């Protein structure tokens, strides 16, 4: 029995981040019917599209959660707010699980549209690690999977994005229509600038986080030293 996450076409196209869903759709169409697929094209993927998933989740769990909150002592307004929150968590979890299974089913070269995705996105937290651990995947945007798997997660993401942009720059150069070529080249340039800006921001954010962790560790060591010093007085 075929997996509901099985790819109906050869190449996998993964997307995450602003504007990338449409780019991924165009890429899959450009590769041709039967040559590429997105998660949206799988049986399970179609079932976890956000609109349908929200509706299904509320239908399956909403009333039960609402009654549980009332029974726990919430007033109707509090119960309604908590129901929305808990249903949203179910939606997110189901979406992550679908993405995880989709990445595990991928084979061959994977095409991405992920420049602009946040570190906490489903792609970077779930799909990318699964793709890099999937031995059926040979490469991502032409970069060998084994090379990417040796990098830390942020370095791997940066390498994937650079290859993604270079691939699209080459595609743009091959377009005969000058207006279309100019539009594609502009899109690549804009995404590249955004990627570089995001990289700088994430590097500074990681640096700040590391410094804060070190300060907290120093404070903990100093506090322990003071306690020990007090014991020996």
User: Who contacts 101 (Cβ-Cβ below 8 Å, separation ≥6)?
Assistant: 3, 5, 44
For residue 120, give both structure tokens.
Answer: 């906490």
pLDDT tens for the chain, 233 residues long, are: 456 555 555 578 899 988 998 998 888 888 765 666 777 777 656 655 555 666 667 767 777 877 888 888 888 888 788 878 887 777 777 778 888 888 998 888 999 999 999 999 989 999 999 999 999 999 999 999 999 999 999 999 999 999 999 999 999 999 999 999 999 999 999 999 999 999 999 989 888 888 888 878 777 776 656 666 666 55
> How far, in Å, CA of 8 to CA of 24, rounded?
16
User: Who contacts 123 (Cβ-Cβ below 8 Å, separation ≥6)?
Assistant: 14, 15, 16, 17, 99, 114, 117
| Three-state secondary structure of the chain | CCCCCCCCCCEEEEECCCCHHHHHHHHHHHHCCCCEECHHHCHHHHHCCHHHHHHHHHHHHHHHHHHHHHHCCCCHHHHHHHHHHHHHHHHHHHHHHHHHHHHHHCCEEEEEECCCCCCCCHHHHHHHHHHHHCCCEEEECCEEHHHHHCCCHHHHHHHHHHHHHHHHHHHHHCCCCHHHHHHHHHHHHHHHHHHHHHHHHHHHHHHHHHHHHHHHHHHHHHHHHHHHHHHCC
For residue 163, give both structure tokens.
Answer: 């290859």
For residue 228, give both structure tokens.
Answer: 């020990």
- Give the domain ranges of the chain: 11-186
Total-model pTM: 0.73
């Amino acid at each position: 029995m075929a997996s509901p996450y099985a790819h109906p076409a050869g190449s996998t196209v993964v997307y995450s981040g602003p504007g990338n869903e449409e780019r991924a759709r165009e890429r899959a169409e450009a590769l041709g019917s039967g040559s590429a697929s997105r998660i949206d094209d799988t049986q399970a993927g179609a079932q976890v599209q956000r609109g349908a998933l929200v509706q299904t989740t509320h239908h399956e769990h909403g009333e039960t959660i609402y009654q549980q909150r009332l029974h726990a002592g919430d007033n109707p307004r509090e119960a309604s707010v908590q129901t929305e929150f808990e249903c949203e968590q179910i939606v997110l979890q189901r979406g992550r699980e679908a993405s995880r299974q989709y990445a595990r089913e991928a084979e061959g070269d994977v095409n991405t549209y992920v420049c602009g995705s946040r570190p906490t996105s489903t792609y970077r937290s779930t799909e990318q690690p699964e793709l890099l651990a999937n031995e059926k995947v040979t490469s991502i945007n032409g970069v060998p999977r084994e090379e990417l798997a040796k990098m830390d997660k942020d370095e791997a993401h940066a390498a994937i994005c650079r290859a993604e942009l270079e691939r699209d720059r080459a595609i743009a150069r091959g377009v005969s229509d000058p207006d279309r070529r100019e539009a594609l080249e502009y899109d690549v340039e804009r995404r590249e600038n955004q990627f570089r800006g995001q990289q700088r921001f994430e590097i500074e954010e990681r640096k700040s986080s590391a410094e804060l962790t070190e300060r907290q560790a120093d404070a903990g060591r100093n506090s322990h030293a003071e306690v020990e010093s007090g014991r020996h007085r």
